[in-house]
Amino acid sequence: MDSAVVLVSLALSLAAGLFVGFFPIAGISSISVNDALHEDSRTGTTGKKSRGVRQLLVAGQIGFAFALLMGAGLLLASFRLLLQVDPGFNPNGVVTASVALPRSKYDKPELSRSFMNRALPSIRAIPGVSLAGASEAVPLGGNHNDSVILAEGYQMKPGESLVSPLAIAVTPGYFEALRIPILRGRGFTDGDNDTALRVIVVDERVAQHFWPNSDPMGRRMYFPGDPKDLLKMMSTRSG
C-alpha cells in the first residue's frame, strides 16, 4: 500500500459514484413539474404504490451503504492491527531471489548445498550487499511440510497429536540477513557441514511445547524418515 494505490482507489470510487448518480439526475431532469404535482395530487392507489416502492428502495440503499461502511471500517481496523504484528524478522532492505537448479545435474541434496556454498561468497562480495543467506522458502512463503518431530524424553499425553512443524533448511547468514534474533544458543556457522554433528534451531513455540519451563539447550530431536520407524518409536514409548 503506497500513495499511488490510495489515489487510484479514490479515483475509481469517485468515478463509480458519479457513474451511478448520473442516472437518477438524468431521470429527474426529464420530469415535468406539472406532471409531478399532478402525480402527488392523485388519491388513487397507483401513486401510493410507486411512492412506497421508491421509499423501500431508498431505505434499502441506506441500509446497504451503512453495512458497507461498517465492513470497510472493520477491514481498515484489522489491517492496521495486522501491520503492527511483529513477524519475527525485519524485511527492510532485504532482496529475495529464487534459484531453480536443474535436477539432471543436481540430483542429490549435497550437490545443491555445495552450489549454495560456492554462490554465497560471491553474492556477499557484491557491492552494497552486507549479509546474505539461503533457505528452502522465504518467511510466510507458504511452504508445506508433512514431516513430524519427536523430542528426546518427551512423554506424549493420551490423545495428543504429533507435532508437525514447518522445517526449513537454511544456510549460515540467513538469520543475520533477516535480523532474526537468536534467544538461546547460536545460529548456524560454516562448521555445520555434512561431517559435523547435526544441530537444529527451533522457535519459542516448539521449545515451550516439548520443554516447558526448562532449558532446551543440549536436547535432542528425532525426525523419523520412515513411517515404520515412527510406529516403532510410538510403540516403544507406549510400552
Angle between helical axes of 45-83 and 33-41 (0-180°, round to 10): 110
Q: Is the pLDDT of residue 41 over 60?
A: no
**Most confidently modeled range among 122-126, 141-145, 190-194, 214-218:** 122-126
Average pLDDT over residues 77-95: 87
Average pLDDT of the chain? 80
DSSP 3-state percent helix, strand, coil across the chain (nearest 5): 50, 5, 50
* Band of residue 238 on the pLDDT scale cut at 50, 70, 90: very low
What pLDDT score does 239 carry?
45
* Band of residue 120 on the pLDDT scale cut at 50, 70, 90: very high
Q: Is the pLDDT of residue 39 over 80?
A: no
Residue 174: count other Cβ atoms within 10 Å of its Cβ: 21
Q: What is the pLDDT of residues 176-201, one digit of tens each?
A: 999 999 988 898 988 888 788 888 89
131 closest CA partner among 88, 95, 164, 170: 95
CA neighbours closer than 13 Å in the CB half-sphere of residue 39: 12
Q: What is the 3-state secondary structure (H, E, C) of 162-182?
A: CECCCCCCECCCHHHHCCCCC
Q: Give the largest CA-CA distance in the chain.
A: 98
Average pLDDT over residues 126-145: 82
